[in-house]
Amino acid sequence: MKIHHDLHHGTYVANINKATEGKPAVPILDLMENALDAGPVRNSGGGHYNHAFFWDEMVPPDQAKTSKISPQLQKMIDSSFGSVDEMKAKFEAAAAPGAVFGSGWVWVCYNGDGLEIVGTPNQDNPLMKGVKDKIMFPILGIDVWEHAYYLKYQNRRPEYVKNWWNVLNWDKVSENLAYVVENKKGVSVRD
């Protein structure tokens, strides 16, 4: 995790800072919602936003065990997927090597009506215009680039994804859902 956080995520932060140097300061969330063209702002900004979102939703396993799914989130999971277990199975299938070819992310998003699982390539995310037919708001997401899991899991991405549930903070995911439903905009991350 230290290499993932300090080197990979750190590089995205340095590169987005370089790409926006000399320009008015804009929150990273605004950059994501307006990043149309592939290039330094979209790629490095996406890398920073996605990783900051990823770190914010995880906690040590002992804390994850005590985190709770809110009634609002439970109701939306049940209506969108049938159950938490069914959502997890669909999410794991969407994160499988054949589903996200190469590098990317898998998200559970609020789509305005319910929850939807979305895979994105590279450092794209569902907040970006042109990724899907409409903007969607992530409430949880996992990095499926090899750098996220290779040192510990080698080529066993499915094992990494299955074990990731053990560090997911459901309190934070519930908070994310409440925010995006109420505000109809993405969750802010630390710039």
Enumerate the known binding-site residues for Mn(2+): 4, 51, 143, 147
Residue 169 contacts by C-beta under 8 Å, 6 or more apart in sequence? 57, 58, 59, 63, 64, 67
Give just the sign of the alpha carbon dihedral 116, 190, 161, 37.
positive
Does residue 153 sit in helix, strand or coil? helix
Report the C-alpha gap between 169 and 150 in whole angstroms: 23
Token look-up 């290499």 returns 3
Report the C-alpha gap between 169 and 1 in whole angstroms: 17
Annotated binding site: 4, 51, 143, 147
